[in-house]
Amino acid sequence: MTTMNINTVNSLPYEDFVSVFGNVVENYTIVAAAVCLQRPFNSLNDLEAAICDFIDALPETGKEGILRCHPDLAGRDLQRGTLTKESNEEQARAGLDALESTEASRMAQLNQQYKTKFGFPFVICARMNDKDRILQQLSERCGNEVELERERGIEEVKKICSLRLHGLVNTDKLSKM
């Protein structure tokens, strides 16, 4: 898919906007529905800022809800082929679709440990990491406190969102008519 300019983003019908941007925050279309109402945007940066502002304004339970929408890395959804297109590409790029059996076992164990402790899955921007770094971060972050992990997870969501947005919208500012 080719990227669209901000004029096109601003002119999309509501349903199309939600369809196109509904997964920039994994499985959380309410973000796209909410920020659609803030159009017109002057730039991709303005659209991204609106999404981040929406996320930041959520109560802690809402932020945890966003985190719960993310799949386990190298988990059941990857094995079953039921990940979203975006997550599948991101996990494959990080090498999570080709783990050796010991790595897969370690990942499954750490994912379960993390979810048991925090109540939401481990979130990291897979496109900015490889499988070794992801395993290292997952192991280290299991030792954090809930508040810190919620904050770290949301920051990772924003990185994922930014990369997904940049794949959909070019960075040109609003064209003058």
For helices 146-168 and 44-57, the axis angle rounded to 10 degrees is: 160
Question: Would residue 166 show up in a list of annotated catalytic residues for this protein?
Answer: no
DSSP string over 7-65: HHHHHS-HHHHHHHHTTSSTT-THHHHHHHTTPPPSSHHHHHHHHHHHHHHS-HHHHHH
For helices 101-118 and 131-141, the axis angle rounded to 10 degrees is: 30
Distance CA 41, CA 50 (A): 9
Strand partners, 169: 4
Distance CA 75, CA 157 (A): 18
Q: Evaluate whether 122 touches 138 at the Cβ level (below 8 Å).
A: yes
The amino acid sitting at 15 is E
Strand partners, 4: 169
Catalytic residue, chosen from 6, 17, 31, 70, is 70
Residues catalogued as catalytic: 70
